[in-house]
Amino acid sequence: MADTFRTLEDSASATRTVDGSRFLAEATPVERREEAEAHLEAVRAREHKASHHCMAYRIGVEGDDFRYDDDGEPSGTAGRPLLRQIDARDLTNTLVVVTRYFGGTELGTGGLARAYGDAASAALDRAALVERVVRTPVRLQFDYDDTAPARRVLRQFDAVILESEYTAVTEWTVGVRASEVEAFTEAFTTALSARGEILRVGPPE
């Protein structure tokens, strides 16, 4: 599994006009298919007088969940060009919706594909991009006296404390890069001379 992925930091929009037709493009970060579908429905409701609402998204750390839709435009002229713009930037967890207000002039399949792709490209170019780290939660338990070596292991592996609990012993849930979990747990055990305990290793987040 990859340790990082590229996505949008926030939403962005752009408008293109081609032979009287207006193309309103919105690029939005999403984390789940349901979120993408809900945003599409919100655009449909807001721009209810439009002719078409075409969309594409790619979701997941590996980008293996994707969909595109021409929404009544000729096959391959809308949704696929939107997805190509997402893929050209190596993005995931990204939704692009392009709404068309028909201007009375037929653009042809090539013209439509260019118009939809250009609108999507303009919106994506306006969006701030960010690289996210995929981390696996690891629950640790150790004595207070072992805090210093535990922190050294965290720094060594760029791990972050997600939750902490201090009672008779210290318990931390830390986020570790997905590819480094095994090395991290071994280093933690060694650094604390086996006095610490790995309570739980969760799925990557």
Confidence of residue 204 (pLDDT cuts 50, 70, 90): confident
135-201 CATH, one of 3.30.70.240, 3.40.190.10, 3.20.20.70, 3.40.50.2300: 3.30.70.240
* Position 129, amino acid: L
Fold of 4-131: Ribosomal Protein S5; domain 2 (3.30.230)
Task: Report pLDDT for 88.
Answer: 97
Q: Three-state DSSP class for 91?
A: strand
Residue 7 has pLDDT above 90, yes or no: yes
pTM attached to this predicted model: 0.80
Predicted confidence (pLDDT) at residue 148 exceeds the cutoff of 80: yes
Separation CA 157–CA 177 (nearest Å): 8
Cβ proximity of 201 and 185 under 8 Å: yes
Half-sphere exposure of 175 (CA within 13 A, CB side): 11
pLDDT in the model for residue 15? 96
Burial class (CB in 10 A: 0-12, 13-18, 19+), 14: buried
Counts of helices then strands in the chain (DSSP H, E) = 5, 11
3-state SS, residue 77: coil
Confidence of residue 161 (pLDDT cuts 50, 70, 90): very high
Give dist(CA 97, CA 40) in Å, integer: 7
pLDDT tens-digit readout, 72-82: 999 999 999 99
Where are the domains positioned within the chain?
4-131, 135-201
